[in-house]
Amino acid sequence: MTVTTAHLGQVAVEPLELSRLAVVIVRNAVLPVGAAEAVAEAGGRVLLLGSGTAEAAAELGAPRAWHAETLDAAPGGLSSALVPLLEQVRLLIFPASPDGRDFAPRLAAALSRPLLAYATAVRVADDGITATLSRLDGRLDVEVRTSEPAVATLVPGARSPLPPSNGEVFELVLSVTPGVDAIRLAVLEPDPATMDLAESARVVGGGAGLVPQGTDAAETFALLRAVGARLGASTGATRVITDAGWMHHDRQIGTTGVTIRPDLYIAFGVAGASQHTGGLGAPKHVVSINTDASCPMTAMADLGLVTDAHALLHVLAGRLGVAP
């Protein structure tokens, strides 16, 4: 890994003449979900902003990366400071993480560019930029085209990342002019019950096996959410559950729902259909609770509990002292 330090204004011309560049906001050296995919969509070039960017650049392993420590920079001032560096880049791609969704519109406004929000694919050609935008909770794809340079946010899980490489890393020192801007009062940790599933480090999921015939599905999933909250986990479900209306579509885990990459996934009554497991990414630890010892979910689990998921959920709720 080669590291070069440069102040803005002394940077080589190359970063300003790229056709595509990923822009990733980093917090305390932690990359957001979708960062590697945004880099892949940008052809392996990335600018990292925030705190702990050098460590994040090393972890990301992009073919070419620029990074700048901008923790205390206000968003409006930072957007203005980036204009001279990025105004010649035709397409800027952010992961559609919370920080990406927040900063991408600011930068688009500073550059006077259209924003292609929540894209599943973005392509650059000589005659313009074409994007596929996801709408209606992923149930509708809209094709759009612009002849202008643009800023886009890419849906996590939309494509595969590039293999890590031992690329070049350039350190940038940005000069951000203070002025009238938003003031950061505090950064609050998200509530697992309402945060994006794609951003959750812990997820509990429910499938058809969690709702035996004759049981109250609404009460069961309320209890699953309460147990998840006590465990500091977000709650998701399979497509069967969301199609039945027992959980909202934005809680659906799978290739037609949300792609997750948690540290821990606990599957209650989930058989493990390919549509569901295709949206799991690569969890560090998987626990499966199912009466079928040979189902795909149990086969891929680190810990498989061959028992009734509905009954175990109630026992677990009692041990944790929670109620729906």
Decide which of 16 and 135 is more confident.
135
Residue 266 CA from chain centroid, whole number: 20
Decide which of 247 and 136 is more confident.
247
Q: Where are the alpha helices (DSSP H) in 112-266?
A: 217-230, 239-243
Q: Please, are residues 210 and 43 in contact by the beta-carbon 8 Å criterion?
A: no
- Please count the other Cβ atoms lying within 10 Å of the Cβ belonging to residue 261: 20
Average pLDDT value for residue range 151-162:
87
**pLDDT, tens digit (0-9, with 9 covering 90-100), for 285-301:** 999 999 999 999 999 99
Q: What is the largest CA-CA distance in the chain?
A: 70
Residues of the chain with CATH 3.40.50.620: 2-173
CATH architecture of the region 2-173: 3-Layer(aba) Sandwich (3.40)
CATH classification number, 197-320, choose in 3.90.1150.150, 3.30.470.20, 3.40.920.10, 3.40.50.1220: 3.40.50.1220
Q: Is the pTM of this model over 0.85?
A: no
> From residue 115, how far is each of 21, 105, 226 by CA, in Å?
15, 7, 38
Report whether pLDDT(246) > 90: yes
Residues of the chain with CATH 3.40.50.1220: 197-320
Report whether pLDDT(196) > 90: no
b/e sequence 190-207, b meaning 16+ C-beta within 10 Å: eebeeebbbbbbbbbbbb
Question: pLDDT band for position 10 (50/70/90)?
Answer: very low
Q: Which two tokens stand for residue 171?
A: 């350190």
SS3 69: strand
Radius of gyration of the chain (CA): 22
